[in-house]
Every structure is written in C-alpha cells, then in structure tokens.
Amino acid sequence: MPRHLLIALAAALPCLVPALLSAQNSGPARLDSPFRPPVNFTDETTAPPIPADVTDDRRVARNYPEQPPVIPHNVRDYQITLNNNQCLTCHSRQYTGASQAPMISITHYVNRDGQTLGAVSPRRYFCMQCHVPQTVAQPIVTNTFKDVDSMISRPSDGGDRR
C-alpha cells in the first residue's frame, strides 16, 4: 500500500471511529449537556421564554470594582446605531439634570491614547457591549462567588492583631 494512502487513513481515523461507534448504537445521536435537557440531535424543541427585564430603576450592587453596572430598566427597543444612541438622551452630561439618570463615567470620554474628549469616545459608544439589562432569570449554574470584602473580613476573636 502506498505511504501517502496510509498517512491519509491514519489522519481520518479519529473522525471515523466516533461515527462507527454511533452507528452501532440504535437511534439518532443525543446531545447531553448540563445546560440543556437531553434531546435527540434531530428533534426541534421550543426555546424557553425570554426572562422579563427588571424595570424598577433601582441600582444593583456590583460584584467587583470594575464591573460595568447593569441596566435596571427596559431597553428592548432602544436604538444604538452609528448616528444615534438612545442611552445618551438620558445618561450624557447635558441631560442628567432633567432626566435624573446617573451620568456615564468620565472614563467613557477618554480615547485609547488617554486623551479626554468633549464627547463620548467611539470605543465606549455602543453601551450594550459592556452593560446588560438586569433580568429575573435564575442562574443555570450555582454561583459561589465571594467578593473581596467577605474574603478579607474575619469574625472578631477578641484577640490582638499585630
């Protein structure tokens, strides 16, 4: 047998073995994952409903210092295009007095060279790249995150710390 044919067969072997093994099992292949119910590959299942947005306009505490704040109101039909950013009609410096919305951070006015601009920097213009709407969705995986304050605080033992 020619050498190049043996090399081609050896390269194809990792792809052929799973296909041969699944052909031995009866029924179509199944997709099993901890994040979705077991379904057949060819089954069409309905998507779960989209969770409702939190719309109480209350700020949510951040989990870490540099975390972008979540959006505590509905933004479903907001327009953010190259020429229009509906978020800035409430959150830019000139409108926060009338809207009572929190002003965007001064870091949003700094370009990549560290220069402070008079308008929002193009790299910070598309808000929903970092800020996401808060929803009532339950986590898929249990969250065991502990913030820094809870990690460094210890119960007082009455002893002297030196």
Tens of pLDDT along 35-85? 666 777 788 878 888 888 888 878 888 877 788 999 988 888 888 898 899
Angle at the Cα of 84 from the Cα atoms of 78 and 88, rounded to 5 degrees: 70
Element (H, E) at 7: helix 3-24
Structural domain boundaries enclosing 95: 52-58+68-138
Asked whether residue 11 is domain-assigned, the answer is no
Residue 21 pLDDT class (50, 70, 90 cuts):
low
What secondary structure letter does DSSP report for 103?
P
Q: In this predicted structure, what is the pLDDT of residue 68?
A: 92
Asked whether residue 25 is domain-assigned, the answer is no
How many independent structural domains does the chain possess?
1
Residue 104 pLDDT class (50, 70, 90 cuts):
very high
Q: In this predicted structure, what is the pLDDT of residue 137?
A: 84
CATH number, domain of 107, equals 1.10.1130.10
Residue 131 pLDDT class (50, 70, 90 cuts):
very high
